[in-house]
Copies of this chain bind each other. A is one copy, B any other.
């Protein structure tokens, strides 16, 4: 038996929907050569990551082995697949392979971080392949909600692995390549060792719908509106943006694109030839002079993002454009779980303006980019893999996807982030548990999720912050009284006296009682002051705040 083995290790994406990063390796134990598939971000939220700008997978394990990393492959240009490339490439320094549209987006990410785009290799679609180390890898077109999405056909001496990337089975996707069942069958014909497969919609039991089904509905809607129509969708969903723009044109409306991402994505699609027949657009300046019933804006901000065009319009004027009674706002999108409050906020703002808001509640104006359960079954059926490895899902999605495979008598492997598997031989085996986790982009600094920095921010948000300053004179006795400042706390509590004063009195009393052992020992002194401040606050306002004590010794 050969000591070489095929390795699969998800560093991100198999435990969340986001920050995809999957390592494949081949070689003798300890001497494997690696490739990385995708290097995405996930987005912070106020509950768990206040103030954080972006979240990356922790790639420490791979960075330590960067000398054995032969290439990075990007399946498609969504942020959760390519978003961390610019931020993390420096630690990996391997060539990056992507198809033209994806490479166009990836290039901007690299240059924004001062990296040369020479390391970026534009790949053609299957049957073209690239050989990197022990792997031969091809980009097999697959339908999704962004152009040129591709599965990867990863061949090694251990056999063929198909890594689906994000996908749906769409045979008329409006823009880009239709799902080609015959081609897929052909690729799978000689046997698929493992199918590493998108799990996002495993809980959606109905059959998936084609992108082409939303066009007629949107057209009907846009044509029927009396005022201006504003529509939002993910900018990267070029097919949808095109559908929206064409609906406008057919209804005799000029199209104006609002929001940086919207303009950039359409630009990238035009540059790479993905879009050739996009309707002409007008600038915001020109749009102001067009009668409302002849105008449609296509804007960023389908998730209610504070700075996107949708939210700006909800707050009032944006680039001289303003919504009013009789206008219509269309969410041609789905609200991602967790964003409900932000979306509702802008819906209510529009409602107050008298704007009619239309969303996908009725299932007419949006379709998902991911394969629903029946389409996952179809994918298993087409590829007939020896092993199904669910990815791109929270734990519950992966587990359900394994059960789905098993229900059809296939082998399924539950492989969450950090489990490093040997896929050689008949039975996958864990060969290592790798420390994985999250790295935060915090302002301009990368910090570890477990550094305690964000935890302290959460604590201040929940409990408020008391600052106690005390000066100790040359004899190590308090010079005057301790001083208390409050941040994020009520000024007065139960007693009706200012909270700061109450705490200062408590602290002064404590210092009066304190013996030399306490007064001479900074740590003891700080602990004591902290404890008193917390207890005092709890008596007054029913809350134990965070306390920072600063003792200055004049000695």
Contacts and interface: CB of A to CB of B under 8 A. Distances in A.
A546 interface: yes
A442 B543 CA distance: 8
B464 A467 contact: no
A550 B483 contact: yes
Interface string A503-519: 00000000000000000
Given A348-B395, A399-B351, A546-B487, A461 B46 contact: yes
Contacts of A395: 348, 351-352
Interface stretch (A118-126, A280-288, A335-343): A335-343
Interface string A453-473: 110111011111101010100
Q: Interface extent on A, as a size class? A: 35 or more
A381 to B, nearest CB: 23
A394 interface: yes
Contacts of A132: none
Q: Which of A47, A396, A453 has the most CB of B within 10 A?
A: A396
B341 A341 contact: no
Contacts of A453: 464, 488-490
A494 interface: yes
Contacts of A203: 361
Q: Which of A340, A461, A548 has the most CB of B within 10 A?
A: A461
A396 B361 CA distance: 14
Contacts of A460: 457, 460-461, 465, 487-488
A338 B345 CA distance: 12
Nearest to A348: B395
A205 interface: yes
A552 interface: yes
A469 B467 CA distance: 10
Nearest to A542: B444
Nearest to A49: B461
A328 B47 CA distance: 28
Nearest to A396: B351
A356 to B, nearest CB: 9
B347 A479 contact: no
Interface in A181-206: 203, 205
A396 B485 contact: no
10 contacts: A45-B341, A46-B461, A347-B394, A348-B396, A351-B398, A453-B464, A457-B488, A460-B487, A465-B465, A485-B548
Given A348-B396, A443-B543, A460-B488, 11 more contacts: A51-B543, A205-B361, A338-B340, A351-B398, A444-B493, A445-B490, A453-B488, A460-B460, A465-B487, A483-B550, A487-B546
